[in-house]
Amino acid sequence: MMDGKTERPLVRVEQVSKEYAMGGEVLKALNGVSLTVGYGEFVAIIGPSGSGKSTLMNILGCLDTPTSGKYWLEGEEVSRLPENRLAEIRNRKIGFIFQNFNLLPKLTALENVELPLIYRGMKGAERRERAMEALRKVGLADRTRHRPAELSGGQQQRVAIARALAGSPPVLLGDEPTGALDSKTSGEVMELMLELNREGHTIILITHNMDVADQAKRIVRIADGVLDEGGGAACISPRD
């Protein structure tokens, strides 16, 4: 566990529901979801399209707020915070890893990794040192001056992971992080994620791919906006 924080969970979601009004009807994307994730865990949340996993990811990532229920991150209830506080939490406490990398094409790998640290107001020398260390950790110390178009898909995702790591957030949140990669590159990225978890990083992975989910230490299924961690969604620990 990171920093010996065992007294409380890192993530605690309690009876969270999310509703959207569509064409005069109410769509319930999440229905009474409860979830706890401890420090140092590697959890995969798996479900098909339309299952509610993207909505859950948006709430876990403080990109959206629930219609009802509560969400605590590091002991702070973030369910009802205003947007400016949510933006600060996203920048400091959550490292996002997206399916399509979300790198800025005109910036180098180093500059892309530095970007969230700029928003945090970090000074230049410390910012570059943090970004360089993150790129070294993902094996791209020799690609710092390359722009995204000069990198392979796997290298771009490693830059995205380095960007997520640079601010030392409590949790890494991956949204289909291997979805745009071939099977070989996907395996390499997952091996990197496993290594980061072995180093103590907490990872929550959203996926529809069972091969990817199987590599996590715990699997939670979602269908029709409801989580199921019993029966077929039991904990799986293939790489303890």
Mean pLDDT, the chain, whole residue set = 90
Return the CATH number of 40-65+81-233, one of 3.20.20.70, 3.40.390.10, 3.40.50.300, 3.50.50.60. 3.40.50.300
Read off the pLDDT of residues 63-83 as tens digits, 9 standing for 90 and up: 999 999 999 999 999 998 999
Q: Is the pLDDT of residue 240 over 70?
A: no
Least confident stretch, 13-17, 146-150, 226-230 = 226-230
Read off the pLDDT of residues 49-63 as tens digits, 9 standing for 90 and up: 889 999 999 999 999
What is the DSSP track for 109-155?
A: HHHHHHHHHHHTT--HHHHHHHHHHHHHHTT-GGGTT--GGGS-HHH
Read off the pLDDT of residues 24-39 as tens digits, 9 standing for 90 and up: 899 899 999 999 999 9
Read off the pLDDT of residues 175-234 as tens digits, 9 standing for 90 and up: 999 999 999 999 999 999 999 999 999 999 999 999 999 999 999 999 999 998 754 333
Domain boundaries, the chain: 40-65+81-233
Structure-token pair, residue 15: 């009876």
Alpha carbon distance 203, 2 (integer Å): 12
Whole-prediction pTM value? Answer: 0.88
